[in-house]
């Protein structure tokens, strides 16, 4: 028969325990049997009963030791809240929910941080410690059913998908899947590029949109950046006529008709492209200002999908506020004989003030310079003459008597003409009659390019006219008859 194991301890009490256990085993009864019989309400055998009662405290300690791990299995990680997409270099809040399945102490939750994320130490709760890749957070003691949330911030560290897993002291674990995306600081600028001065009703107005990425990563394939321009007022106020592009990138935009109808021009830049390429690209929007008043032209930029995230949405808009003054497009017109006119002859110089719209005009003027040597007859109503004046057209100054005629009400697409009776000079001369129009006081001119016109005149020397008009004659030599 094999030797029994050595006694547990060298004390007298230890020896007595060993002997009683050995005796119980010899009678076919074990400590466990005695314990089980007692728990089942049966009367244990004599030896087992005596041993169990004698060693009851020791057995309870042994059972507690064997089941100690299960006593701490009291906290379950129930769920994790995370944004589905986190921008590269951007912070995001993570919330881990837990609950108690039983009352215990010293419970904790372990969160496995993937390589795509980094933890912001400044946002960790006091009960949490981080040693990569594990974030361990102690859970407050409490009774069954208690719950709570562990909140902290992470930062996108590398692009790619990941799983974030939290495990309590009791199963199961909670897991959430998300992805770190490319990101950058989208921004847009906007300026009015024309006209240089005040905006006048009826004039063409141009705005330039400058999209860009201040910092961040390149825009990958599958990602798109959308630039929008909210057109001012209604189509009557501002009618879009063109949108043009410059730089290395050309966006895809809705049509001019669609933009006028929706009052929004939308242009999409599709990846892949670099920051430098977008920053060097512009969109120019041109339209006709139809009415006067105060207006806003607002541009915006945004990512079209989650494939590219904006790190700062606070600089995604730009506005150009402007005031359009009352105005219309007035045009200078006139007529004078284009052929040679005789010296001293009577001729009519016609001056015309035309209003191309978009607003009616009352009180505009049309003027000309009559050079010295010309005679001026009776002027029509509304016209005055003043000697010693000048007008400059196209860089050339014309001197003489200035005749200015003031119009009445001229409707859109209407005109008013003034006929000046002139007597041609007595000597030969040539040159131009400058005709210049000016809008009424308080009204702007929508198109300065058609405010003047030159009407040429030619008064040659009478002898030159006769020489040019006298028929030529050939004198035939008389042939001598032969002798």
For the range 391-394, what are the long-range contacts, defined as Cβ-Cβ under 8 Å and sequence gap of 24 or more?
Answer: 391/367, 391/434, 391/436, 393/434, 393/436, 393/452, 393/454, 394/452, 394/454
Beta strands in 312-373 (DSSP E): 317-325, 327-328, 330-335, 346-355, 361-362, 365-370
> Is 479 inside any structural domain?
no
Q: Is the preceding omega at residue 272 within 30 degrees of 0, hence cis?
A: yes
Pair 209, 243 in one domain? yes
- Give the integer Cα–Cα distance in Å for 86 and 262: 33
- Give the integer Cα–Cα distance in Å for 236 and 217: 42
Per-residue pLDDT at 463: 63
> Is 112 inside any structural domain?
yes
Q: Which CATH number belongs to the domain containing residue 132 in this structure? A: 2.60.40.290
Cβ proximity of 402 and 391 under 8 Å: yes
Q: Which CATH number belongs to the domain containing residue 274 in this structure? A: 2.60.40.740
Pair 40, 119 in one domain? no
Q: Judging by DSSP bridges, how do beta strands 134-139 and 444-445 pair with one another?
A: unpaired
Pair 45, 24 in one domain? yes
CA-nearest of 355, 373, 375 to 364 is 355
Per-residue pLDDT at 442: 87
> Is 2 inside any structural domain?
no
Please count the other Cβ atoms lying within 10 Å of the Cβ belonging to residue 331: 19
**Angle at alpha carbon of residue 370, lines to 365 and 373, rounded to 5°:** 165
Residue 289 burial (C-beta neighbours within 10 Å; 0-12, 13-18, 19+): buried
Which tokens hold the place of 60? 């309870």
Query: For the whole model, what pTM was predicted?
Result: 0.70
Cβ proximity of 189 and 316 under 8 Å: no
- Give the integer Cα–Cα distance in Å for 448 and 438: 10
Quote the domain boundaries for residue 187: 183-325
Per-residue pLDDT at 52: 35
Per-residue pLDDT at 465: 54
Pair 337, 458 in one domain? yes
**Angle at alpha carbon of residue 226, lines to 222 and 232, rounded to 5°:** 165
Pair 264, 369 in one domain? no
Which tokens hold the place of 287? 């339209």
> Is 233 inside any structural domain?
yes
Cα dist. 128→107, 120, 142, 337, 475 in Å?
Answer: 12, 12, 18, 98, 127
- Give the integer Cα–Cα distance in Å for 125 and 193: 53
- Give the integer Cα–Cα distance in Å for 228 and 264: 7
Pair 59, 189 in one domain? no
Which tokens hold the place of 345? 């002859």
- Give the integer Cα–Cα distance in Å for 265 and 260: 8
Per-residue pLDDT at 61: 42
- Give the integer Cα–Cα distance in Å for 54 and 49: 8
> Is 107 inside any structural domain?
yes
Number of domains in the chain: 4
Residue 475 burial (C-beta neighbours within 10 Å; 0-12, 13-18, 19+): exposed
Pair 254, 270 in one domain? yes
Pair 196, 165 in one domain? no
Q: Judging by DSSP bridges, how do beta strands 199-200 and 317-325 pair with one another?
A: parallel
Q: Is the preceding omega at residue 385 within 30 degrees of 0, hence cis?
A: no
- Give the integer Cα–Cα distance in Å for 139 and 121: 18
Q: Which CATH number belongs to the domain containing residue 347 in this structure? A: 2.60.40.1530
Pair 190, 321 in one domain? yes
- Cα-Cα-Cα-Cα dihedral sign, residues 335, 338, 339, 341: positive
Pair 205, 320 in one domain? yes
| Residue ending a domain, choose from 141, 172, 203 | 172
- Give the integer Cα–Cα distance in Å for 82 and 119: 14
pLDDT tens, position by position, for the chain (483 residues)? 444 444 444 444 444 434 444 443 444 433 333 433 343 444 444 444 333 333 444 444 444 434 444 445 699 999 999 999 999 999 999 999 999 999 989 999 999 999 999 999 999 999 999 999 999 999 999 999 999 999 999 999 999 999 999 999 999 999 999 999 999 999 999 999 999 989 999 999 999 999 999 999 999 999 999 999 999 999 999 999 999 999 999 999 999 999 999 999 999 999 999 999 999 999 999 999 999 999 999 999 999 999 999 999 999 999 999 999 999 999 999 999 999 999 999 999 999 999 999 999 999 999 999 999 999 999 999 999 999 999 999 999 999 999 999 999 999 999 999 999 999 999 999 999 999 999 999 899 999 999 999 999 999 977 655 544 455 444 444 445 454
Residue owning tokens 């969160």: 111
Cβ proximity of 442 and 363 under 8 Å: no
Pair 399, 351 in one domain? yes
Residue owning tokens 């730009």: 318
- Give the integer Cα–Cα distance in Å for 369 and 380: 16
Q: Judging by DSSP bridges, how do beta strands 174-194 and 308-310 pair with one another?
A: parallel
> Is 225 inside any structural domain?
yes
Strand partners, 2: none
Pair 318, 413 in one domain? no
């Amino acid at each position: 028969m094999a030797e029994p194991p050595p006694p547990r301890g060298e004390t007298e009490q230890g020896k007595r325990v060993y002997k009683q256990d050995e005796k119980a085993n010899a009678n076919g009864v074990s400590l466990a049997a005695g314990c089980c019989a007692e728990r089942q309400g049966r009367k244990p055998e004599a030896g087992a009963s005596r041993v169990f009662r004698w060693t009851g405290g020791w057995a309870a300690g042994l059972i507690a030791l064997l089941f100690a791990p299960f006593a701490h299995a009291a906290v379950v990680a129930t769920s994790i809240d995370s944004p589905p997409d986190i921008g590269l270099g951007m912070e995001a809040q993570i919330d881990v929910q837990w609950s108690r399945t039983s009352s215990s102490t010293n419970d904790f939750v372990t969160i496995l941080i993937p390589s795509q994320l980094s933890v912001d130490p400044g946002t960790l709760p006091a009960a949490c410690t981080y040693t990569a890749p594990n974030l361990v957070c102690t859970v407050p003691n409490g009774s069954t059913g208690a719950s709570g949330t562990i909140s902290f911030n992470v930062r996108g560290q590398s692009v790619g998908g990941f799983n974030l897993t939290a495990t309590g002291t009791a199963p199961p674990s909670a897991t959430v899947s998300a992805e770190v995306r490319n990101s950058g600081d989208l921004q847009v600028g906007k300026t009015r590029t024309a006209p240089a001065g005040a905006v006048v009703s009826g004039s063409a107005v141009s705005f330039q949109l400058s999209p860009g990425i201040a910092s961040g990563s390149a825009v990958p394939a599958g990602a798109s950046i959308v630039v929008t321009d909210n057109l001012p007022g209604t189509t009557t106020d501002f009618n879009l006529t063109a949108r043009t592009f410059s730089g290395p990138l050309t966006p895809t935009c809705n049509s001019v008709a669609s933009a006028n109808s929706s009052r929004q021009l939308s242009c999409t830049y599709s990846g892949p492209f670099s920051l430098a390429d977008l920053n060097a690209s512009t969109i120019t929007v041109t339209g006709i200002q139809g009415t006067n008043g105060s207006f806003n032209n607002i541009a915006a930029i945004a990512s079209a999908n989650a494939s590219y995230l904006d790190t700062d949405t606070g600089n995604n808009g730009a506005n150009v506020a402007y005031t359009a003054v009352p105005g219309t497009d007035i045009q200078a017109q006139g007529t004078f004989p284009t052929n040679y006119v005789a010296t001293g002859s009577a001729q009519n110089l016609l001056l015309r003030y035309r209003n191309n719209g978009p607003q009616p005009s009352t009180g505009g003027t049309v003027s000309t310079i009559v050079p010295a040597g010309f005679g001026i007859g009776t002027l029509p109503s509304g016209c005055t003459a003043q000697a010693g004046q000048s007008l400059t057209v196209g860089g050339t100054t014309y001197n003489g008597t200035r005749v200015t005629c003031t119009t009445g009400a001229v409707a859109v697409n209407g005109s008013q003409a003034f006929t000046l009776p002139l007597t041609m000079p007595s000597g030969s001369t040539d040159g131009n009659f400058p005709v210049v129009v000016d809008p009424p006081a308080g009204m702007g001119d929508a198109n300065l390019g058609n405010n003047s016109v030159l009407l040429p005149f030619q008064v040659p020397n009478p002898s030159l006219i006769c020489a040019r008009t006298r028929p030529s004659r050939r004198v035939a030599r008389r042939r001598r008859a032969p002798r």
